[in-house]
Amino acid sequence: MDKEQIAQSYDLACKAFTDLNVDVESALTKLERISLSVHCWQGDDVGGFESLGEDLGGSGLAATGNYPGKARTPQELRLDYLKAFELIPGKHRVNIHAMYGEFKGEKIDRNEISIEHFQGWIDWAKENDLKIDFNPTLFAHPKARSGLTLSSKSKEIRDFWIQHVTCCRDIAESIGQALGSPCINNLWIPDGTKEGPVDRAGYRALLADSLDQIFAIKHDKANTRDFVEGKLFGIGSEAYVVGSHEFYLGYAVKNKIGLTLDMGHFHPTESVADKISAVIPFVPELLLHVSRGLHWDSDHVVIVNDDLIALAEEIVRSKAMDRIYLSLDYFDASINRIAAWVTGARATLKAMLYALLQPWETLNELEESGRHFQRLALLEVLKSMPFGAIWNYYCNQKDVPTGIDWVEKIEDYEKKVLKKRG
Ligand code: RNT
Ligand code: ZN
């Protein structure tokens, strides 16, 4: 799209939004401040770089598809990341899992990892002016094979995983310190059972005890923040999940730590958007895992749909954007993996822009004065506003392709780089 056309369309669109009492420039300033945490595991189908030298056991997370060209090394993954960042407007973050350390062929078990294994990521982040977030990895490991980790009735297994999360919190603190930005450390565990246990309470008491031991160690909030993430069900945990949403909501409120809501982790009729205003008054911070549930799968590539727009609207309306973090969380191995990143990231930012371009005060006035059909009409009008022109202008300003133009950049990268991978 040529620059003149973009500028002209933007001017017309601005006028249309201004007529509705929307401040476009202020919306773009707010959009610019949104830094998405982009998940490394889309780049290699949740593989990681460990050399534990044994069958790792099921992960409870299944990436399906075998599209060629996936990243096989930290270098390849980082190269792919930079390509994706070239096509996403704004400044974003890198989100890594503990299993993505650089172990140089050594057999370092999860309870032995330390900051040195992430030095490569830190150096690269510094070179590219990026920030890093972190996640302990309590799956894809022989000691997770029973499906129970921090809630295991085996003290040995439980202690092992407590040590792992403790290592990870130290690493997150060091990463945050090295890069000068709090490293968001998100804890999700796969614990659950295929059939309902008789001792539901017992496993939950053990999980609470493990978490108490873990969080008894305090870290500097300027360097790292802790979050806990629940789930409704997973592969192998169909009947019972120890760390359910209610469990973690209670735990986070009681202990004043962050809560994570994953869009794919609830019953399909539940709205994660609706939960934001319900929980934000009671937890210090909220992390949203932006995902797309489809039937049993909770991790399809994010696209602009009603759920995403509702989420974005509730974030904007919460007036607590400074306490809400956005992290992508999905994995699709059946399409170009960089395109999967770019699609989800652009969709999330687009939905945020859509929500930022709404005349909240007018809508609220209509609501408070009981003019409900007028509110409905205005919300409907917003759907056909020239929002795409503002999006294109923003992309152009941020030096990334507008419209469909990013697709050819990926095709080119596929030809020049990905096709050469074995
Ligand atoms: C799993 C959780 C979790 C993971 C990542 C890889 O259901 O959503 O966030 O996707 O830790
Ligand atoms: Zn998640």
The tens digit of pLDDT for each residue in 293-308 reads 999 999 999 999 999 9
Average pLDDT value for the chain: 97
Taking a C-beta distance cutoff of 8 angstroms, is the pair 48, 137 a contact?
yes
> How sure is the predictor about 316, in pLDDT bands with cuts at 50, 70 and 90?
very high
CA–CA separation, 100 vs 126, rounded Å?
18
Atom 9 of ligand 1, nearest CA residue: 188
Q: What is the pLDDT of residue 50?
A: 94
CA of 54 to the centre of ligand 2 (A): 26
Instruction: Identify whether 219 is a catalytic site residue.
Output: no
CA 131 to chain CA mean position, Å: 14
- Could you please state the CATH topology (level 3) that the domain comprising 31-356 is classified under: TIM Barrel (3.20.20)
**Which entry of 80, 102, 173, 262 is annotated as an active-site residue?**
262
289: Cβ below 6 Å to ligand 1? yes
92: Cβ below 6 Å to ligand 1? no
Cβ of 125: how many Cβ atoms within 10 Å?
Answer: 21
The tens digit of pLDDT for each residue in 123-146 reads 999 999 999 999 999 999 999 999
Instruction: Identify whether 121 is a catalytic site residue.
Output: no
Taking a C-beta distance cutoff of 8 angstroms, is the pair 187, 227 a contact?
yes
- What does 82-143 look like in DSSP terms, one character per residue? HHHHHTSSS--EEEEEGGG---TT----GGG--GGGGHHHHHHHHHTT--EEEE---SSSGG
Atom 10 of ligand 1, nearest CA residue: 329
Q: What is the pLDDT of residue 58?
A: 60
CA–CA separation, 345 vs 152, rounded Å?
36
229: Cβ below 6 Å to ligand 1? yes
CA of 169 to the centre of ligand 2 (A): 18
For ligand 1, mutation pick of 44, 45, 46, 61 (most atoms within 8 Å of CB): 61
CA of 260 to the centre of ligand 2 (A): 8
The tens digit of pLDDT for each residue in 160-217 reads 999 999 999 999 999 999 999 999 999 999 999 999 999 999 999 999 999 999 999 9
Instruction: Identify whether 372 is a catalytic site residue.
Output: no
Q: What is the pLDDT of residue 264?
A: 98
> Which residue's structure tokens are 């895992």?
289
Domain ranges of the chain: 1-22+359-422, 31-356
188: Cβ below 6 Å to ligand 1? yes
pLDDT at 263 over 80: yes
Instruction: Identify whether 188 is a catalytic site residue.
Output: yes
The one-character DSSP state at 301 is: P
329: Cβ below 6 Å to ligand 1? yes
Helix (H) or strand (E) segment spanning residue 409: helix 406-416
CA 276 to chain CA mean position, Å: 16
The tens digit of pLDDT for each residue in 36-82 reads 999 999 999 999 999 876 656 566 788 999 999 999 999 999 999 99
Determine the residue type at 291: S
292: Cβ below 6 Å to ligand 1? no
CA of 407 to the centre of ligand 1 (A): 27
Residue 384: both structure tokens together: 């056909």
Helix (H, G, I), strand (E, B) or coil at 76: helix
Report the percentage of the chain scoring pLDDT > 90: 96
> Which residue's structure tokens are 């954007």?
321
Q: What is the pLDDT of residue 57?
A: 58
Report the percentage of the chain scoring pLDDT > 70: 98
Cβ of 140: how many Cβ atoms within 10 Å?
Answer: 23
Rg over CA atoms, the chain: 22
Taking a C-beta distance cutoff of 8 angstroms, is the pair 63, 46 a contact?
yes
User: Quick one: which atom of ligand 1 is closest to the CA of 41?
Assistant: 6
Which of 411, 393, 410 is closest to 402 using CA atoms?
393
Neighbours of ion ligand 2 (CB under 5 A): 262, 289, 329
| pTM for this model (two decimals) | 0.98
CA–CA separation, 254 vs 266, rounded Å?
22
> Which residue's structure tokens are 């990870």?
168
**CA torsion, points 387, 388, 391, 392, in degrees to nearest 10?**
-140
Strand 258-262 and strand 37-39: the pairing is unpaired
Q: What is the pLDDT of residue 1?
A: 76
Quick one: average pLDDT of 84-104?
A: 98
